[in-house]
Structure 1
């Protein structure tokens, strides 16, 4: 383990940025697009579901980001492959020790829907995971798009929408995901689950030598601090590496409005002063207002200083994770596709087509960077267009047949 790892350095300096694709989100094309854009924008970590196909999709996008260079697209110096080869994000996989809102999907029988239903579920879904195409196409929830936010549940006029929870089987999934070369594991837990947490942790321990980081995600609740100290003792008995406490304030709500960030900040303040040692990272309701609010509360680490990992008034947050809000910033590109189409275009000799892909990619990266850069102000290369990379041949195009 070394502080020369860019993601670990970001944690130590308080400007760690994590993209949350979703613990139950399995739409592979969107995962590739999100990972590609946020990798190019400077993300330190990509958090995905414990699904080999999802992990592979994210890895493909990271690899594409670190080798991509398209003539005439005028991408920024910070997305040049020489820069990205030394700054690739860590890939994290989320597991749970019991029922959790992040590990569920909505379900309903579309045949029961009234013919005159205004379909509020379809309109309210932030992931376009509910659709009613013309028969014979299947109607209802598109499972791979649903990430379990639950917004559709209360709006159904006949109250028929339910959620189906999933608890991962560590004995089955851990060998598969570790074989793919992931960098970190995040455990989602809730107060009162010490025994369940210990069982899951025992399954993870044999794989710890191959991991760079462990994270624990938890909601607010009674006796939360005491619970975290218990988990800290369980983990530290066998793990001495970086440990992140993710304060999941208001899960999957960041795209609803600026006020959703308050719960994560409030929980973080308590954990910073009273919680166990480790890095504290915000999540759950984070959005474009989070950095500003954190700065106003004195929770950001001053430039040039290191994050304190010990509890007390001097402790500051190590970073911020963004999920639903990060996805919302790229909605237009997720709808039209980016990464898969890009791979096809960069293999073509048509410079105009390749240029069009570059322009779409540039626009998506700019949108992602607008969320990343406030946390990393002054610490990353500015996303300015430069023509000096426009004539560099594309490694992707050279490595693959037309």
Structure 2
């Protein structure tokens, strides 16, 4: 069978990455998201750097491989995606959790935090920790200003043996302009293991002297024996907010694309259904309208928007877990492949988003 090849996708400019979330730790949802988007043709699944999460994602990808023939028969183009984990060299909004004491909440509070949470991670008991992925939308909206966030940074001496021995394919390092020494410490811990990887991605938001900073990181990492992606993080964790969220990521992509820095350019931060049409209109995609461009955006990473597409399915599956399978059982956890109708419904929801970058003539106007 002809699978999408992640490396070929990068080279040809139709790379699709699913971001489960650097702080998202809800194992059932991660398993479903990884399985569904692999069947839909994703090239990379990005998860939190946690052994249990890595194991769950690998299990999901193994199931996707078993179901690949059926996916192909149904008209999809399943992939054998690379598994990536995200790390950080300092404080970063992707690596945090919200928290508050529900006992302090006024009895008559309208609970705007619960309404605004895209992960459905807030209820009357407070924040459901494994569901929160740190978007921060609840913080400014609290009427009594009691919601705080706690951040964390991975210790370099711990992450390398813990994760790279687990058989991951790629790492992504979240950094910010001005953190050269912090990046160096993290990289020195990773470098001995890099020859086992297929890909290193560097994710960085905009800032003064961004291009000079990226060049300094490139020189620090040399020689690099694997593929390199520059992830331009336009407006983090905002793709599901609205149509205009994609403007920042496209603008930042243009900025980095204009340089001659080696490596592939991949957008993130505000990506949604409007990102591909916007890139196409600007001639920033390979073999789309303007064929004379020397460089192009090689791929797009989707996080909050990709997850929001499957939220109805995730909720339905979770509700099924609360139902007995027969009169002798009480609560039996369901995995989505045990509910085939729901599985292929989910793939049908995910496929148009993947197809925008891979098969635009079929999907560009669908979602």
Aligned to 2:299: 319
How much has 1:95 moved relative to structure 2? 0.3
Alignment of 1:351-366 (within 5 A): 357-366=339-348
Match of 1:13 in 2: 12
CA deviation profile, 1:121-160 (whole Å, cap 9, x unmatched): 011000011011xxxxxx1000100000000001100001
Counterpart pick for 1:291 among 263, 272, 276: 276
Secondary structure at the aligned position of 1:374 is classed as helix
Counterpart check, 1:151 vs 2:129 = no
| Whole-Å separation in 1 of the counterparts to 2:345 and 2:4 | 28
Give the gaps of 5 or more residues in structure 1: 133-138, 346-353, 382-402
Who is 1:336 aligned against?
A: 316
User: In the superposition, relative to structure 1, how do residues 155 and 275 fare at CA in structure 2: closer, same or farther (>3 Å)?
Assistant: farther
Which of residues 243, 254, 263 is equivalent to 2:239?
Answer: 254
Residue 298 of structure 1 deviates from its aligned partner by 0.6
Q: Equivalent residue for 2:153?
A: 167
Once residues 370 and 5 of structure 1 are traced to their aligned partners in structure 2, the CA distance between those partners, rounded to angstroms, is: 16
With over 3 angstroms needed to count, the CA separation of the structure-2 counterparts of 1:69 and 1:200, relative to structure 1, is closer
Deviation, 1:5, is 8.2
| Distance of 2:354 and 2:52 partners within structure 1 | 26
1:226 counterpart residue number: 212
Cα distance between partner residues in 1 of 2:32 and 2:316: 10
| Residue 90 (structure 1) aligned with residue 100 (structure 2) | no
- Unaligned 5+ segments in structure 2 are 326-335
Whether the 8 Å contact between 2:117 and 2:138 is mirrored in structure 1 is yes
Aligned length: 348
- 1:195 matched residue in structure 2: 181
Equivalences for 1:270-285 in 2 at 5 Å?
270-274=255-259, 276-285=261-270
Deviation at 1:56, TM superposition (A): 0.8
Distance 1:373 1:268 in 2: 21
1:111/1:275 CA distance change after superposition, 3 Å: farther
Structure 1 residues 249 and 189, CA gap change in structure 2 (3 angstroms)? same
Q: Deviations over 1:341-395 (max 9, x none)?
A: 7xx99xxxxxxxx9982211111001000110010017999xxxxxxxxxxxxxx
Give the CA deviation at 1:293.
0.2
1:169 Cα offset (Å): 1.2
Identify the structure with bigger relative contact order (alpha carbons < 8 Å, sequence gap 6+): 1
Residue 68 of structure 1: CA displacement?
2.9
Q: Secondary structure at the match of 1:238?
A: coil
Q: Which has the larger radius of gyration?
A: 1
What is the DSSP-based 3-state SS (H/G/I as helix, E as strand, rest coil) of the residue aligned with 2:252? Answer: helix
Whole-Å separation in 1 of the counterparts to 2:205 and 2:215: 15
TM-score, length of structure 2 as denominator length: 0.89
| Aligned residue number for residue 353 of structure 2 | 371
**Which residue number corresponds to residue 61 of structure 2?**
62
- Give the CA RMSD over aligned residues: 2.7
Aligned structure 1 segments of 4 or more residues deviating by more than 2 angstroms: 74-80, 378-381
Q: Kindly indicate whether the alpha-carbon contact (under 8 Å) linking 2:249 and 2:271 is maintained by their aligned counterparts in 1.
A: yes
CA contact (8 A) 1:228 1:275 kept: no
Partner Cα distance (2:158, 2:184) in 1: 17
- 1:293-312 equivalences in 2 (<5 Å): 293-302=278-287
Please say if 1:245 is aligned against 2:230: yes
